[in-house]
Structure 1
Amino acid sequence: MWDDFEDFLHYLTVERGLSKNTVQSYKRDLRQYLSHLEKEESVTGFDQVNRQQIMNYLYTLNDKGKSPSTIARLLSSIRLFHQFLVREKKSGKDPSLHIETPKKDRKLPKILSSTDVEKLLGLPVKDDLTARNKAMLEMLYATGLRVSEMVALKVSDLHLTMGFVRCIGKGNKERIVPLGDMAKEAISEYLNGPRQRLVKQKSTEELFVNHHGNPLSRQGFWKILKAVAKDVGVTEEITPHTLRHSFATHLLENGADLRAVQEMLGHADISTTQIYTHVTKTRLQDVYRSFHPRA
């Protein structure tokens, strides 16, 4: 069983081209599932697995207090694994067929107000590191990139004259995202001296680097973001994804086409992008209730 599990991880990495983080997520999910089959169901081969045994696992997760969204994610991993086993003729059946996915609690993403965005992007440039920080914040708000995508950018991915950045997203898919004038200006200022002084003599290709001149990590950016938010007086809870959510919501509020926003965000399915239309409706309702005399 565990050899088939390793083959599946190899398939995700090599054939599907999924990122290391995504593969690790599948790995965690399926380790729990396989351990349950061995311990609770006494399964030694995948042809022995039936629908009820998978349902037992999902019930166990529910009893442990796992949320519907977590259970839905785990079921998605299980389905993909069993589909792989059938396709590779390692199993003669897919017991995960016809198992209904739990309805997810659809939480609306938290976004920043325009005022808080202005505070963040108004970060004063005092030295090389604040020039870098300003360039990163402008980049995220201008493009809606995921933080993992931003820290992976190379200098060669920038096309400032044409006003766009080339990005490699989930599933190793390439997309081109426009850059606004303010972002181009901040990035140009960062490239025109600060980055070279941070890199020193190193041949680092990544666009954004830490104070040692090495590529910046996602965790490194998160620390920077929290520190900047505190310095400029943003009291709302903020994560690296907050700027991505704000980018999408503010575009839609100002009349952007949903399909265009989907393309810029790199969403494979437009239903993922539609969550932001719910955010804009909720904000309109809040404004109505706050200001209409008969609300």
Structure 2
Amino acid sequence: MLLMVASPLTTIDAFLDAAWAERGLAANTLSAYRRDLIDFFGRIDVPLAAITRAEVLECMAERLRRGDTVASILRQLSCLRQFFAWAVREHHIRADPTLDLEGPRAAHPLPGSLTSSQIEALMAAPSVDEPLGCRDRAVLETFYATGMRVSELAGVTLSQLNLVRGVIRVRGKGGRERLVPLGEAAQDALTLWLHRFRPELKPVCDQVFVSRTGRRLSRQALWSRIRQHARQAGIDDAVYPHRLRHAFATHLLDHGADLRVVQMLLGHADLSTTQIYTHVSRSRLKKLHRQHHPRG
């Protein structure tokens, strides 16, 4: 097979023309591809046909050493994969040096949590002397007591709740069910809501948490109410349902809970998903150590 020899810039232009003609890529995307390709060829000192896996790896390593973000390196690698696949097809090179090449792994940000004092302030924010405040206190207590997802809590029906035994049957992802304890604070808040105020709203559904018109409370409404009470409690950080789930898991581990138990309570199919919370707990311990240890 005869290889077509051309300068890098000419080849880049031909690739971009083909990408525009075949896939109709936007001008901004084509400009980004051009920048990534020019950057790559500016870092290597070999002809196109002689580029190997080693050159691509060294380019990524150099960018990492320089402090470039993993996201920008992965974007460039994606561009290179497309370029070299096209170059093989057009007989510019014999083999694709990016074939089966893995880029650097993006770091997963640690989930945000809340301190115990922030939780206490948040729980105290709604007034339990009126229907919606009483409902919101029950919502917050249930979120923090169970670590439920917002979709799970919005869908909870009366038949899933057993206040006598203090448990709730949660229907999670994939239709999987789990039993989660409620704890005294959540039980008390739910009892007050269900027996005193929920009937006043004349519910037209069997969901535990209903709106002022008696209909099922939406996920969006749950988000909005939690944000409102967080502001009322003087919490500057963003507070949302999943952050209460993070607080639930982190605080359990902080107080010695077994990771497998936390996995079961959260409804994670894979233990590796739960393990991120061990990193959260360790980071909090390190922060406390730095703040309070004489040689921290």
User: 1:237 offset after TM fit, Å?
Assistant: 1.8
CA distance in 1 between partners of 2:70 and 2:151 (Å): 26
TM normalised by structure 1 equals 0.67
TM normalised by structure 2 equals 0.66
CA distance in 1 between partners of 2:100 and 2:286 (Å): 38
Instruction: Give the 3-state SS of the residue equivalent to 1:166 in structure 2.
Output: strand
Judge conservation of contact 2:204–2:215 (CA < 8 Å) in 1. Answer: no
Which residue is equivalent to 2:292?
291
| Structure 2 counterpart of 1:203, one-letter code | V
User: 1:240 offset after TM fit, Å?
Assistant: 1.3
CA distance in 2 between partners of 1:154 and 1:136 (Å): 13
Is 1:120 paired with 2:143? Answer: no
CA distance in 1 between partners of 2:189 and 2:221 (Å): 20
Deviations 1:224-278 (A, max 9, x none): 0111111122222212111000000000000000000000001111111111110
CA distance in 2 between partners of 1:117 and 1:285 (Å): 21
Find 2:163's aligned residue among 160, 181, 185: 160
CA distance in 2 between partners of 1:197 and 1:277 (Å): 43
CA distance in 2 between partners of 1:256 and 1:110 (Å): 19
Instruction: Give the 3-state SS of the residue equivalent to 1:190 in structure 2.
Output: helix
Q: 1:250 to 1:98 in 2, by over 3 A?
A: same
CA distance in 2 between partners of 1:101 and 1:176 (Å): 40
| Structure 1 counterpart of 2:254, one-letter code | E
User: 1:40 offset after TM fit, Å?
Assistant: 6.4
Instruction: Give the 3-state SS of the residue equivalent to 2:168 in structure 1.
Output: strand
Which residue is equivalent to 1:107?
109
Deviations 1:127-170 (A, max 9, x none): 00000000000000000000110001001110111111011111
| Structure 2 counterpart of 1:152, one-letter code | G
| Structure 1 counterpart of 2:116, one-letter code | S
CA distance in 2 between partners of 1:140 and 1:196 (Å): 22
Q: 1:115 to 1:146 in 2, by over 3 A?
A: same
CA distance in 2 between partners of 1:188 and 1:244 (Å): 22
Instruction: Give the 3-state SS of the residue equivalent to 2:235 in structure 1.
Output: coil
| Structure 2 counterpart of 1:109, one-letter code | P
Instruction: Give the 3-state SS of the residue equivalent to 2:237 in structure 1.
Output: coil
Q: Max radius of gyration: which structure?
A: 2
Greater mean alpha carbon deviation, residues 203-212 or residues 129-138: 203-212
User: 1:101 offset after TM fit, Å?
Assistant: 7.1
Find 1:184's aligned residue among 172, 182, 187: 187
Structure 1: where are the runs of 5+ without partners? 1-38, 44-58, 76-96
| Structure 2 counterpart of 1:252, one-letter code | L
CA distance in 1 between partners of 2:215 and 2:204 (Å): 10
Judge conservation of contact 2:134–2:193 (CA < 8 Å) in 1. Answer: yes
The CA RMSD measured in Å over matched residues stands at: 3.0
Deviations 1:170-214 (A, max 9, x none): 11111111110110010000001211112x1x4311111111111
Find 2:153's aligned residue among 150, 158, 180: 150
User: 1:102 offset after TM fit, Å?
Assistant: 5.5
Is 1:133 paired with 2:136? Answer: yes
- Size of the alignment, in residue pairs? 217
CA distance in 2 between partners of 1:216 and 1:177 (Å): 21
Alignment of 1:1-295 (within 5 A): 42=22, 68=71, 100=102, 103-123=105-125, 124-198=127-201, 200=202, 202-295=203-296
Judge conservation of contact 2:70–2:105 (CA < 8 Å) in 1. Answer: no
Instruction: Give the 3-state SS of the residue equivalent to 1:156 in structure 2.
Output: helix
Instruction: Give the 3-state SS of the residue equivalent to 2:242 in structure 1.
Output: helix
Which residue is equivalent to 2:50?
none
